[in-house]
Amino acid sequence: MDLAVATQLAIALILGLIIGLERGWKTREDPHGQGDGGIRNFGLSGLFGGITAVLGAKWGIGILAVGFMGFSILIATSYVLTAQKSKDYGTTTEIALLMTFLLGIMVVSGWMIEAVAIAVIMAWLLGLKKELNRYLLLLKRRELIATLQLLLIASVCLPLLPNNNIGPWQAINPRSIGLLVLLISGISYLGYFSIRILGNKMGLLLTGFFGGIASSTALTLSFSRMAKTRQDITILLAAGIALANGMMSPRLLIEIMVVNGSLAQQLLLPLLVLGMTPLICAFVLIWRLSPSKSTTSIKISNPVELGAAIQYALLLAILSVLVLAVQDWFGEGGVYLLSAISGLVDVDAVGISLARSANDTIASEVAIMGTLLAVTMNTIVKVGMTAIIGGKRLAYWCAGILFASLGLTMIVMVANI
């Protein structure tokens, strides 16, 4: 007796039973015993696939073709007879049986781990029918389009981008820019749906937290507008803005880590202080004011629109060239000027561009100072936004928290020099 073959056939049987367990549970109350039949049918299908693979290895691949065709005809015939009687024309179970047969073949053919993973995923997906239907009913068209666009970027656009430096000063790597666009879009996508699902129910705390993941600037603008008409919750809105801006630091750190791990290590402590200070202040305010009844929410546009992704890619490419250009023309002072100007609009783009340049052309100290300068200018813009749109009281709290975090960050930097 070949123990290796016996083990493979046993695993093929077990995988079939795992999938059959889900199918059998679904029909467990069937008076004709279809639940038990589902488990047995799937177990035998996996075992049949394994036996077919064993015979095919000895007598040729033709055995596999004959076995699969015969099994397919058997399932098709059973489906026609059953559908005519029950008027149920769904094909999920039949497709799952065919896949179980193929999983048995995979196990014997040497893809055991892959077969186990697929079997577990199959059982999980088959068991999520009600949940998936409910989510589809809640899904808006623009969210469906955004999901498809994110998949398009990940599976089609990114692999087609060349992975070499091109352009002036060899500053542009299309694959790296595409990967970062995907990363940032993915973070924003996650933040959007977190707000969509949890924002109103969990109140201001989660709204500020997930709003910072998606767009701290958008949340600052939204809460500043809200402060005009809801002066009674001004301090809570300030806490939400602090939370969102506290989340900007870990988001930026992750993006830099993808591009330049060593630079991310040098920025770890400053960005940690920059992020933790407003987070601690926000939690203290929320704890003291006990905003258990807060239902503050934020509306942000879906960040995964293809047009927005292309614009961000262009911005990254331009900044990548400009960083090297101003460094070549004006030295370090030019890099700092560019960082300050770019920080007025976007922190992520200039931080990523500086991190990429620090790999080859500029000193890490210049990249660190440029990144923190961009963060400083961006923070000033947000405080100004709260003052102009939200009023003096909101600006007072936001300025105190955000400028305090900047001050502590500078102290930490000076102490480490």
Task: Note the pLDDT tens digit of each residue in 265-283.
Answer: 888 888 888 888 888 888 8
The pLDDT of residue 35: 46
In angstroms, what CA-CA distances link 211 with 186, 290, 352? 14, 20, 21
Mark which of 82, 109, 134 sits at the end of a domain.
134
Whether residue 332 is found in the same domain as residue 391 = yes
Instruction: Give which of 396, 345, 351 is closest to 259, Cα–Cα.
Output: 351
Check residue 294 and give its pLDDT.
Answer: 47
Number of folded domains that form the chain: 2
**Whole-number Å distance between alpha carbons of 208 and 293:** 15
Which tens digits make up the pLDDT trace of 198-254? 654 455 666 677 667 766 776 777 678 777 777 677 787 888 888 888 888 888 888
Mean of pLDDT values over 309-333: 67
What would the two tokens of residue 412 be?
């930490």
46 and 161 housed in the same domain: no
Which of 102, 134, 166 terminates a domain? The answer is 134
**Among the three residues 103, 134, 165, which one is the final residue of a domain in this structure?**
134
Residue pair 267/371 in contact by the 8 Å Cβ criterion = yes
Question: Do the beta carbons of residue 232 and residue 260 sit within 8 Å?
Answer: no
Residue 395 tokens, joined? 């600006």
* Residue 135: per-residue pLDDT: 72
Residues 379 and 312 in one domain: yes
Residue 56 has which token pair?
A: 């095919």
DSSP for 78-95, written as a single string: HHHHHHHHH-----HHHH
Q: Do 260 and 358 touch, CB atoms closer than 8 A?
A: yes
Cβ atoms of residues 401 and 282 within 8 Å: yes
> How far apart are alpha carbons 189 and 305 in whole angstroms?
10
Count of CB atoms within 10 A of residue 63's CB? Answer: 17
Q: Do residues 348 and 255 touch, judged by C-beta distance below 8 A?
A: yes
| Residue 292 confidence (pLDDT) | 46
Burial of 14 by CB count in 10 Å (0-12 exposed, 13-18 middle, 19+ buried)? Answer: middle
For the chain, what is the mean pLDDT? 77
162 and 291 belong to one structural domain: yes
Q: Are residues 44 and 150 in the same domain?
A: no
- Per DSSP, the residues of 255-296 read HHHHH-HHHHHHHHHHHHHHHHHHHHHHHHHHHHH--TT---
Q: How far apart are CA 119 and CA 12, in angstroms?
A: 10
Contact between 270 and 409 (Cβ < 8 Å) = yes
Would you say 17 and 38 are in contact if contact means Cβ atoms under 8 Å apart? no
Distance of CA 22 to the CA centre of its chain: 29
385 and 270 within one domain: yes
Instruction: Please state, in angstroms and as integers, the Cα–Cα distance from residue 68 to each residue in 19, 41, 43, 99, 359, following that order.
Output: 19, 16, 16, 10, 54
Chain-centre distance for alpha carbon 411:
34
Lowest mean pLDDT among 44-53, 320-329, 339-348: 320-329
Q: Is 162 left (phi over 0), alpha (psi -120 to 50) or beta?
A: beta
Q: What is the pLDDT of residues 161-205, one digit of tens each?
A: 888 877 676 667 788 777 767 766 775 676 567 666 665 445 566
- In this structure, are 119 and 150 located in the same domain? no
Is residue 209 exposed (0-12), middle (13-18) or buried (19+ Cβ within 10 Å)? buried
- The answer to whether residues 125 and 144 belong to one domain is no
Beta carbons of 204 and 194 less than 8 angstroms apart: no
Q: 362-375 pLDDT, tens per residue?
A: 787 788 888 888 88
Task: Give yes or no for residue 160 having a pLDDT over 70.
Answer: yes
Query: Are both 117 and 148 inside the same structural domain?
Result: no
Candidate from 6-15, 69-78, 329-338, 352-361 with smallest mean pLDDT: 329-338
Q: How far apart are CA 256 and CA 259, in angstroms?
A: 5
Distance CA 406, CA 391 (A): 22
User: How confident is residue 100, by pLDDT bands cut at 50, 70 and 90?
Assistant: very high
Token pair belonging to 142: 């623009």
Structural domain of 344:
140-416
pLDDT top residue among 166 and 31? 166
Contacts of 369 (CB under 8 A, 6+ apart): 336, 339
334 in the same domain as 213: yes
Let me know whether 116 and 145 are in one domain.
no
Output the pLDDT for position 200. Answer: 46
- For 85-99, 287-301, 353-367, which range has the lowest pLDDT when averaged over its residues? 287-301
Helix ranges restricted to H, 87-203: 92-108, 112-127, 129-138, 141-152, 158-160, 174-202
Strand partners for 172: 166
Q: What is the dihedral of CA 201, 205, 206, 209, to 10 degrees?
A: 160
Residue 113 has pLDDT above 50, yes or no: yes
CA distances for 46 relative to 12, 39, 74, 95, 147, angstroms:
5, 11, 15, 13, 34
Q: Are 181 and 35 members of one domain?
A: no
Higher-confidence position of 285 and 119: 119
